[in-house]
Amino acid sequence: MVPQLCEACLKIDILGCSGGIGPGLQTTTFLVDDSLLVDAGSGLGTLSIEQMLAVRNVVITHAHIDHILGLPLMLATIYDQHMEPVDVYASEAVISALRQHIFNWTIWPDFSQLPAHRPILRLHSIEEDSEFQVANYRIRSLPAEHPSPAMGYLISDGNSSFAFTGDSGFHPPFWHKVNEFRPQLLIVDVSFTDDALELALDSGHMTAAQLSEAIALLRYCPQVRITHLKAGFEQAISDQCGRSGPVTVSPLRHGETLHLTKAGVMQSR
Ligand SMILES: [Zn+2]
Ligand SMILES: [Zn+2]
């Protein structure tokens, strides 16, 4: 991670951006300005205890394990040291899945009751297509299409903004919303190569050709970064996405840091 380049930057550390695991691969985890997590996959395991203690808020796109598995483990790591609770925001369906299937004392302790005198976990339900404030960020939930209830997010600090599809197949309502709010950066799930279209449709992810279709809906020119690439197919997917027309498309990289300003997106490692 690198320090903030400027006060007006929105900094995004890419802790995990793979559809799978393996050497150097982590699942979806983005850390905004050291304190706001967007999804909590295996990438959380790259943070030090000090960095975990700095996480104040978490927004979750959906309850699939690759997007949540780091959360219970992080809470268990820091719950006896934290000074402030960790606030988790997600749809009602996701919050109830977390309560029922993860924080149920069987799979994992219920950290909304631990430690008893000062529980570390607070769970908050948010509506579809709604806007809410988390610390300094204005966050809007965006439509997504996935076998499990899912939403994307548009996150703005007032100066810069980015949108994330979460896991989603090609879903025009997301792209219409993006045109409305015009974030500088789009992070888009492109999990499969074009020859795996059937798999993509069945599992609610996009192919490179579907990304081209989606980009054709754009009425402005954001930077597009693809994420959730199927492990082992990163190069093939990236090569196919490289042919997506006038908008710049490139894959996210593990360990990179993006700095968003009004002027655009800067990148460092
Ligand atoms: Zn998923
Ligand atoms: Zn996923």
Smallest-distance ligand from the CA of 169: 1
Q: Report how far ligand 2's centroid is from the alpha carbon of 261 (Å).
A: 28
CATH of 10-268, one of 3.20.20.70, 3.60.15.10, 3.40.640.10, 3.40.47.10: 3.60.15.10
Residue 42, amino acid? S
Contacts of 108 (CB under 8 A, 6+ apart): 72, 76, 102
The β-bridge partners of 27 are 18
Mean pLDDT of 136-144: 98
Q: Report how far ligand 1's centroid is from the alpha carbon of 6 (Å).
A: 34
Determine the Cα–Cα distance for residues 33 and 177; give it in Å rounded to an integer.
Answer: 24
β-sheet with 131-134: strand ranges across: 131-134, 137-143, 151-156, 161-164, 185-189, 223-227, 249-251
Q: Report how far ligand 1's centroid is from the alpha carbon of 177 (Å).
A: 21
Cβ neighbours, 10 Å, residue 108:
16
Smallest-distance ligand from the CA of 43: 2
Q: Report how far ligand 2's centroid is from the alpha carbon of 203 (Å).
A: 10
Residue 251 pLDDT greater than 80, yes or no: yes
Smallest-distance ligand from the CA of 149: 1
Residue 9 pLDDT greater than 50, yes or no: yes
Buried b or exposed e, range 138-167, using 16+ CB within 10 angstroms:
ebbbbbbbbeebbbbbbbbbeebbbbbbbb
Q: Is the pTM of this model over 0.85?
A: yes
